[in-house]
Amino acid sequence: MNGFDKARAALTDLTGRSAIVTGAGRGQGAVEAEMLARAGAAVWLCDVLVAEGEALAARLRGEGLQAEFLALDVTDAANWATVVAAVTAATGRLDVLVNNAGIINRKLIRDMSPAEWSKVIEVNLTGAFLGIKTAAPVMAETGGGSIVNISSNSAFSGHYDPAYTASKWGLRGLTRSAAMEYAEAGVRVNAVCPGLIVTDLNRGSPHLAPMIGMTPMARSGEAEEVAQLVLFLAAEGSGFITGEDFVIDGGFTAGAAYRRVARETGLL
Ligand SMILES: NC(=O)c1ccc[n+]([C@@H]2O[C@H](COP(=O)([O-])OP(=O)(O)OC[C@H]3O[C@@H](n4cnc5c(N)ncnc54)[C@H](O)[C@@H]3O)[C@@H](O)[C@H]2O)c1
């Protein structure tokens, strides 16, 4: 095999691998799950949205891909144990976990109850903690693996959705800590931090137009673009990368605020 063919396989081939994607019933998780299945992995789509997840898994199977749906509430440790056991019983291994499930609550601190705060932290941060805690030891036993945590570019600044923002900052810290803990066991852990992707999480929000207006590339991202990054981090081509954040936001985090100043003062 020449160098390019090796690179193509290392970047895109997951044949013989098994993967779990949480929040895969719709939105970015659905696209990520399909991307991994098309790369050759046996993929378990997990979500609290049972009908949506089952329908997507059935559609992928209809195309000859390996896809199964399993109900999973990421906040439930026992549910995680059942899911990981089911995957390893079927394939004898677990290679990839995408902690994608997430919720948002745009209330400001002054309007948010402690229960509302805890709910967001529980799904977005504790859910990923439980996933790593359950999956990483199994990955370590079966030759190593890759965990991708879907954080957000809001994990680089303050924001108008404080619980969500705190959970996504927390996910970056969890990513680095888990990467240190499991590095020698051969389990890599990285974070993907998307900017605006239009999904059911934000469709119809008044924030969309101003966000796009502030984005240097002047558009929202596509779920496929995020899924390509997830595939890269899942596959062997990223084999020496762990504990990193990957921002994918059309330049927003890189300097949207200064770009706006430059535009308002006629420099750009
Ligand atoms: N859309 C964006 O602009 C954007 C930007 C940055 C990061 N993200 C992150 O991307 C991820 C995917 O979001 P999306 O945009 O596809 O939104 P989405 O609402 O379409 O998808 C989220 C999925 O998570 C599932 N989910 C929620 N709670 C769950 C639980 N307790 N257990 C299992 N599954 C659960 C939902 O059922 C849904 O299928 C989230 O973590 C989100 O925070 C989204």
pLDDT at 236: 97
- Among residues 160, 164, 182, 258, the one annotated as catalytic is 164
Ligand 1 atom closest to 73 (CA): 32
Q: Which ranges of the chain have pLDDT less than 70? A: none
Q: Report how far residue 66's alpha carbon sits from residue 160's, in angstroms, rounded to the nearest whole number.
A: 40
Distance CA 136, CA 187 (A): 7
Tell which one of 103, 121, 247 to mutate to probe ligand 1, the residue whose CB is within 8 A of the most ligand atoms: 103
Full residue range of the structural domain in which residue 193 is found: 3-264
Ligand 1 centroid to residue 56 C-alpha, Å: 16
Euclidean distance between CA atoms 21 and 96, whole angstroms: 8
103 lines ligand 1 (CB under 6 A): yes
Ligand 1 within 6 A of CB of 131: no
182 catalytic per annotation: no
- CATH code of the domain in which 245 resides: 3.40.50.720
Residues found in the chain: 268
215 CA distance to ligand 1 centroid (A)?
A: 21
User: With a 6 A CB cut-off, is 60 part of the ligand 1 pocket?
Assistant: no
Exposure of 125 in the CB half-sphere (CA atoms within 13 A): 19
pLDDT number for residue 190: 99
Does 23 contact ligand 1 (Cβ within 6 A)? yes
Centre of ligand 1 from the C-alpha of residue 262, in Å: 34
For ligand 1, whether the C-beta of 53 sits within 6 Å is no
Q: Is the CB of 32 under 6 A from ligand 1?
A: no
Residues 6+ away with beta carbon under 8 Å from 50: 25, 69, 71
Ligand 1 centroid from CA 23, angstroms: 6
Assign residue 228 a region: left if phi > 0, alpha if psi is -120 to 50, beta otherwise?
alpha
pLDDT at 76 (0 to 100): 99
Question: For position 36, what pLDDT does the model report?
Answer: 98
Centre of ligand 1 from the C-alpha of residue 1, in Å: 39
Count of domains forming the chain: 1
